[in-house]
Chain A
């Protein structure tokens, strides 16, 4: 069985990012780029499955500019057998990527497609799910445990969901997106890096796969989040209510505003506030 792993080249997680002065995006020139951490975990899982004998080949796939080759080489150094690079220098969008992956899967016919759950640059968390939809394959997202059962052709995935853990049994072929606690990726050792230089990276373009990379969304502006304002110490409960009502606009309609007056006893006013907020 072949396993295909999708890899994205993103800004390294340790880098402090900056917004470009023209607010069109994040500064990516002269910035360290590396493999998306979740994709490393996906690749590690694929390699472990291969090492346990249940897969024959691991193919790493990436879409992006020409420097993606470096990221793919890291993947090959970790242990992938082959790599495919779909070259596209512009901005990438999840749906277009999903279509590219569908075309690649149709060509390569892997039994399992592994992706990271999301990329750390856009945090979209969409590609895996979209690919599964396009391929009409079952999907196990946010996987924290993957157990492959070859004979029955199923894979059992423990998913980390908001309520806890959910266990799903998927028929192969399937799409799995990996979450942080699945495994600890291995280091690429020097000898493996050297061997990776001779491994094959196939180059394709989106036109070869008959996919047009476009989006129906347009990024108008990127700005830094507003700086956190300092806290303010208020002098009285009256001031608190005033601020809540007028600045923070908290709470439903104040049915009996005449109670909240200057001179009202503290206890009385306080009980009103509690009532109002509970409502």
Chain B
């Protein structure tokens, strides 16, 4: 069923009508909230004596897309009265036998589609609010026009878009999307600056997770450099940073052995933490300073003003059923924006949905360092192991087996406190083999003779997965756009050789806060953020680290050799900057060039199947909501992904969201189990035709990480 947006337009509008039609046909897809396959069909219903107008429109329509505008003559029944109400009764739910083309209306009513209805130049006020399947918005202008909103079915429209007036709007000076390290650091810094300068700015942080820290997952060996600058008394204030790094090992694995190498990291003053716990603590600190944090609300739409400047965001409508209709507990989204000159910061983490939109819209990649962003998928489990095998603060990284020399990736194993161990596997998403399954590689890795003994006797507490950026210095986009900035991993400040991104994310948030404060308080341009970034230690760090990851394009051992050269001798002083290879989604080879990999079955003790692991991630979404994973073209999975690439999405997704099944007629079909989604964004990155668009589901859903 193809969604339709139909506008029945009254007569008597002449040029205005033609203008309206032109605008409707060419309205931007963004306006309807991420629904890329809206099929716009304009039905113009004329009263009988509108011959001239009809002719005019036919002329114009030739210039517009021909089959978009349909011209229908109204029935004779409505000709008696020119009043809106009579017309509206006739047009709302016209008796089927009276319209020449009644099928569309039958479908409309049957499928709970609402239709957009605009009446121009009528003299009456609101028509009757009687409606069976449709509804009227509250917006009526003097002329008594109203709107029905077209509702999509496939992929689902989450917002009754275009109707910004029916939503409540709250004003804040600064709106931050995402309560992660970057977002919360920016919020805290802003409030600290306010206190010092005796100014008051209202700061609001929206977070799609059910609580602060629910969607935070990271290794994590934490470098407290940024936290020392932000909250110097973090130790006294009982930040959950207790375990200093006690040992640092680096192994190259073969199938049966582990070869120790000198550790390329300097983790001496760092700590092994759970980033989710730290972010919770940061959230507490932010609330103490007066920041308003709203978990459970997903920012799904960017609001622009007439000059194409970002003025804020709008949250999802809640209580929308799977077919798009409103449930009993429907609540429209809320707009969070500022009065003139206020700022929006996007801190959504790697491949944030709104950040990507903004980057595309304002072309920030080209304005920045120029290269595309490259990503890796990290899958992590937190185990509780026996006390004799646990050494708090022990840090281990491995490379090599089970990945082949052409796939960049490795594992990490960090011992936290309370006998807990964080073990994870990271696979760069520019791998070539479409049969590679990062989750299964992780399970295979756990069976290595050097790793397995440590896990025996333990239990898994939590599981999760998330993509991370590996583009580094070369891929930093220009972070400032009209109306705000992008901070944290949404821009991409992860230091790949160090495998640390939390400290740079926090620092970028703090720098943004300083620039924002100066913009709001003194009026200086927000572009100063870019300059302050380039003068900060983030830049120096990322510059020094810029050639490590691209060196691995040449393979594992050349990459290791170049990295050793960089680390011990050159330290970033090479006069050149290596470029990245192909973007991740283009790097997948066709399936015919490779053979399927036979992964061992999970044993239920050390390795597990996906459903068991998924259960441990506490992920949950309300099942009765539109799927938040949208296919731009629903045919591509059957036509391209499956035959050419053997359906890689069923392998790289760590949550088994995508399954290629055969439907009743025997045709292959892509089944999307959106309820399982871990919000890792791997599908958005790795889909070969970039057909899958990750959009934000109803707030409060998703994983529930507590010690990740």
Contacts and interface: CB of A to CB of B under 8 A. Distances in A.
Contact of A14 (B327, B334, B704): B704
Interface in A1-45: 12, 14-16, 18, 30-32, 34
A17 to B, nearest CB: 10
A30 B274 CA distance: 11
Contact of A12 (B329, B336, B704): B704
Interface string A186-224: 110111011000000000000000000000000000000
Interface stretch (B177-185, B303-311, B514-522, B615-623): B615-623
Contact of A187 (B318, B461, B616): B318
A191 B334 contact: yes
Interface residues of A, number: 19
Contact of B210 (A16, A32, A194): A32
B328 A30 contact: no
B170 interface: yes
Nearest to B317: A187
B392 interface: no
A101 B292 CA distance: 33
Contacts of A184: 327-329
Given A16-B616, A16-B618, A32 B214 contact: yes
Interface string B316-337: 0011000000011101001010
A30 B216 CA distance: 14
A121 to B, nearest CB: 16
Contacts of A194: 170, 292
A193 B214 contact: no
A138 interface: no
A32 B704 contact: yes
- The SS class assigned to the B binding surface is strand
B297 interface: yes
A14 B328 contact: no
A184 B706 CA distance: 28
Given A30-B707, A32-B704, A189 B331 contact: yes
B315 A14 contact: no
A233 to B, nearest CB: 20
B211 interface: yes
B319 A187 contact: yes
A266 B46 CA distance: 84
Contacts of B331: 186-187, 189
B277 interface: yes
Nearest to A34: B210
Nearest to A30: B706
A186 B334 contact: no
A188 to B, nearest CB: 8
A184 B331 CA distance: 13
A193 B620 CA distance: 23
B329 A190 contact: no
The residue among A16, A183, A191 with the most chain B CB atoms within 10 A of its own CB is A16
A48 to B, nearest CB: 10
A183 B619 CA distance: 24
Given A184-B327, A190-B170, A191-B168, A18 B461 contact: yes
A31 B706 contact: yes
A32 B334 contact: no
A111 interface: no
B706 to A, nearest CB: 5
Contacts of A15: 618, 704
B530 interface: no
Interface string A64-83: 00000000000000000000
Contact of B211 (A18, A32, A190): A32
Nearest to B624: A184
B294 interface: yes
Given A32-B704, A191-B168, 14 more contacts: A12-B704, A14-B620, A30-B706, A30-B707, A184-B328, A187-B331, A189-B168, A189-B318, A189-B334, A190-B294, A190-B297, A190-B315, A190-B336, A191-B334
23 contacts: A12-B210, A12-B704, A14-B618, A14-B619, A15-B704, A16-B618, A30-B277, A30-B707, A32-B214, A32-B706, A34-B210, A184-B329, A186-B329, A186-B331, A187-B318, A189-B168, A189-B331, A189-B334, A190-B334, A190-B336, A191-B168, A193-B294, A194-B292
Interface of B: 168, 170, 210-211, 214, 277, 292, 294, 297, 315, 318-319, 327-329, 331, 334, 336, 461, 615-616, 618-620, 704, 706-707
